[in-house]
Structure 1
Amino acid sequence: MIIRRYLVKQVISTSIVVVSLLTMIILGARLIKFFGMAAQGNLDTSVLLSIVGYRLPEFLILILPLGFFIGLMLVFGRLYVDQEMAVLNGSGVSKHRLARLLIPMTTGFLVVHMLLTVWISPWGLRQYYELYATQSVRAGFDLVRPQEFISAGAYTIYAGSLSEDRKNLKDIFLYQRAEKPGRPDAMILAKEATRIEVGDDAASVVDLIQGRRYEIYPNTAKYTHTEFQTYRIRIESNKESKYDASQVDGISFGKLWETRDNPIVSSELGWRIFTPFSMFVALILTVALSEVTPRQGRYLKLFPAILVFASMIVLLIAVKTRMSKGEIGMWAYPTILLFYAVAGILFSRKQKLAPKFKKQIQRVRS
């Protein structure tokens, strides 16, 4: 149908522009944060683009529904301002009919959003957590700067000075936190350290010269003291620990389903299942909120409509938080979506419902 092709083309092109603009804004803010971390020595600049790429699907989960809604509002608003809607209504095509014509396109956006929430975003977050954890440990000596304490994973490192190739360090202080409770922390003081190249191994192998090693038991006065002439240590990168178990947003959908009785897991599961349906709510709200006169302009109701749609997203996020604490159940997700959908349907039909309500009121008074 010509009208459907025309609308789909307009909505998709406008939505892509809006999503691209919002993505650039969000990525710009994130890049500033990551550059700040790199400037402080907490992050290697070589992994910045990888981190941003892995986090991009997570950003799109919130950007895509908003961009789609703004695209719909701009297209429908232009139809009213250019009086194309009046021509369509005169031809027997109402705004509700136009919305029905856009259902297949909305379903396509829903599928894309569901792919992001269920598979692509969790995969990207798993890669991000793995990269961040591995890099923070591996790059412990890479990030060392003279006369500054650098924390990298379980290690805290200090060097009085270092060579230009970052392989020879002077006046070394190294503190390693114990991996398991009850095990001692290790503190090493050395006059010099030399890094050893070990092929493609991600670990840092270091030869320490003329120093002392202390094993300290936290919350006790117990410790051991050893002096050495040379001592080789290996700062391991934790390849097996993909991500922390508490980071449920990076867990695969299958694993979430297996442990869905956990409140934190069920909140993430509900978020992935129900959030994509915000696309259909966006279409319903657009029909209700986009109507303007040519004199008003298509931007008159855009900002209030964005606030309405954003309030729905904020409520969904609030439900996710409350649900993770075990205060409410998964039913809250569809309840919010249905509330906004029903409100949008009623508001879009106000011109038909108002005379009926008026007659009912007059009948009751008489």
Structure 2
Amino acid sequence: MSRKQRTALGAGILALVFFIPPLTQSAYAAEPVKNTGGAGTEQTGGGDDTGIYAAARITYSGSVAANGGTGNVTSINVNWTPPPCWYAPYLGAKDFKKKMSKDIESQLNTPGIGGTAGASLTQLKRHYEDDFGWTDTPGYKDYNVEKDGEGMFWAGVENPSEPDVLKRGSCTDLPFWVENGEAPPPRYEQAIRPEILAALAYQHMELPDTKVSLAPEQTTKVNLPTWAWLDKAVFDEAQATAALNVPGFNIQATTTARPVSLTLEPGTDDAVTYPASGECTINDDGSIGEPYARGKAHRNPPCGIKYLRSSGDGTYNLQATITWDISWTGTGGAGGDLPDGTFANGQAVTVQEIQAVNR
């Protein structure tokens, strides 16, 4: 039997005996739920409450959506997605033994259990009790109880913001032990680390709802260039931080979004943009475009629009899309780039026809 087959079999049996509740919105509350089990909650370890204090909440701070919601940044890379699930610290050894052994025994004593399911449950029990290697992973003696306080068992956690239920539940490896202060084994590519936290910070980032300044403002005339600009004071970088803090394992990552350009879409084909591409790049001082001032009427704006037809009794929906360069830094000096992000803001523009009278 291949490693993939054994892992799938182990995950199937594990699902029978050991349900790990997914990380839900309650995990982001100021007062996390206690003693309910599962990553994303807080627990005390050991039957006498003297074991390791286990907490596997990811906390978000900075420019992030409220209550752990998804932010408003759209990646320009359609193939890039945040992690659908990950592995994170779950329980100390004593707590893990208490839960796992109880669930396995309950299933083994179920009337009619047998065949492949019964054999696999027996192997699962041996895996954690008798140091039996299974699914290409080393086994454990008595659930590693002698090491309680020196590490934690890690388990899969679902990303509650992932819409695809199959992807969300794809972290199906058996819970595994990680010593305090050490990184998980390389085979667990989805184990929580700074890169994953950076992607989650990206997913929850909330960029400012910046309104483009226009001259003329809101109402303009046919064939009259409309100037558009963004001042540096209202158009600056934003940061979002995701952190995981548990005994013996504390990591975080900060994702930074820096504005680089503004793209104008007039809301009608009967218009021209300045520049012709519609993309206004950032100036040396951090602003975009140029404010209109008296004496500039004879010039075309460096960033703007000219409407060629009246909007009639309605308005045109001017879309101003800001492109942000996104990078991250994390624990241990890690860092890198993430795909650029965009955020669009719509503004209603009325375009009037200039009436002329011939005498």
- Higher strand proportion: 2
TM-score under structure 2 normalisation? 0.29
Q: Which has the higher helix share?
A: 1
